[in-house]
Amino acid sequence: MWDLANELTFVSVTDYKDFEKKMFLDVDAGPVNQLVNYQGVDATTFTQEFRLNAETERSRWVAGFYYLNIDNYSDNGLKAPANSLPALFGFGLTDPGVDIGVFADMETDSYSLFGQLEYDLSDDFILITGLRFIREEKDFFMDQAFFLSTGTGEFNNGQFLFPARPAAFVDDTSDDLWAGKVQLDWHATDNTLVYAGVNRGIKAGSFNAPIPGGLPFPDSVIPYDEEVLTSFEGGFKSTIMDGRGRLNGAAFYYDYDDYQAFLFTGVSGVVVNADAETMGVELELQLSPGEGWDILLSGAWLDATVKDVPYRIGSPLPPQDRNPTYSPEFQAAALVRYEWDALGGTMAAQGDASYSDEFYYNLRNFDADKFDSYVLANLRLSWLSANADWETSLMVRNVTDERAGTIGFDLATLCGCNEVAYREPRWYGVSVRYNF
């Protein structure tokens, strides 16, 4: 960061990352190893940002340039050990096992020019405007194949059997995109801020790389378009009870063009474009009613629809409007904490609870793809020494042993089953920590 002149600052941020991941997941959940999902990633990213910041008596502004490069190679698939495929697919391949894989390489170059201005219209009103222009370029390669497996810890290192598609898929895109915002802040009182704004957000298009198997995906669904969001939001932020509390609220409406919806069919999933809309309300209350007391209450209501969702790619059935995945209609949370002096330090007792409505984990919204509503409650008792060196805690998580779903996959076209995961059951814990 350099100070170029009075109230003018130049900032340069450079970042480089090299990332590798290898993961194996037992997806059949059976007593023997029948089917394993493997995922491998080898990626490098480079970013460079230049920013100018300035401030005058009535305005604050920032302008800059941003560059992003991502070189990403991925290797995903299903590893079927010896004698497992006949039971699943009837291929008659028994030894030494088969890998069903998709490997993809994509390089992304993204260039952005951006700026934002905050201008004081008066002592009480602030106008905020922003604009970003983006040039997004992608080069993509993908192929699918079957291999003889050589071991549970390797990816596609065995003997090639046959391709899963007639030829590799190669494509490139170049898109000019833009995003922007206009917002008005009103300081209604010394303790209350009211705001309203309109935003245009953008999410660049890209490419799917589905795992072969189950129902086939045509090449037409491999690329998908950018998602454009027009959002309208208003709300308030206030300080209450002579500074001992805060009350915040917001209402919003989101209108999506070409919403990037994830549709899971077969043994994999693809991103498909579909229009969508979302509206909701959020409230949050923070209180410190007395010495040592902290209370937090929050709630959110959501009404969301993804329009004209197909049952599967290529389905002859008419598309239907659906609820987006992992989007409960209502959520609420509460936390109560009390601190007091004890044993030469500080003792604290805390309880918290959260509620979630039922929600779907598959965009098709089948009843079999739905998690029930749940309430999660936790308790914690802790002690912190006066010099903050020692901390010990007793805790109970998921006090009521609630069965709360987190993620699921509809594998009906593969095995006539669903694969689901749940939050951890009730458990008790003791921790002792020393801070050096």
Strand partners, 281: 251, 301
pLDDT at 28: 66
CATH architecture label of 2-328: Beta Barrel (2.40)
Q: Would you state the structure tokens that stand for residue 99, as one six-digit string?
A: 């890998």
Are 103 and 163 within 8 A, CB to CB?
A: no
pLDDT at 214: 64
- Comparing CA positions, the residue from 282, 273, 262, 293 lying closest to residue 361 is 262
pLDDT at 88: 46
pLDDT at 263: 86
Are 247 and 235 within 8 A, CB to CB?
A: no
Are 199 and 233 within 8 A, CB to CB?
A: yes
The ranges of the chain with pLDDT < 70 are: 1, 3, 5, 28-33, 83-96, 150-158, 214-215, 266, 413-415
Which residues, in sequence order, are CB contacts of 90 under 8 Å at separation 6+? none
User: 251: how many CB neighbours lie within 10 A of its CB?
Assistant: 16
Peptide bond into 163 cis (omega under 30): no
Q: Would you state the structure tokens that stand for residue 309, as one six-digit string?
A: 């969702």
Q: Would you state the structure tokens that stand for residue 5, as one six-digit string?
A: 């002149």
- How far is the C-alpha of 141 from the C-alpha of 44, rounded, in Å? 17
Cα dist. 196→181, 192, 199, 200, 426 in Å? 11, 14, 10, 14, 43
> Is pTM, for the whole model, over 0.85?
yes
DSSP E strands, 56-96: 59-81
Q: Using CB atoms within 10 A of its CB, is residue 209 exposed (0-12), middle (13-18) or buried (19+)?
A: buried
The domain ranges of the chain are 2-328
Are 153 and 23 within 8 A, CB to CB?
A: no
User: 382: how many CB neighbours lie within 10 A of its CB?
Assistant: 19
Give, in degrees to the nearest 5, the angle at Cα 143 between 413 and 45. Answer: 110
> How long a stretch of residues is the chain?
436
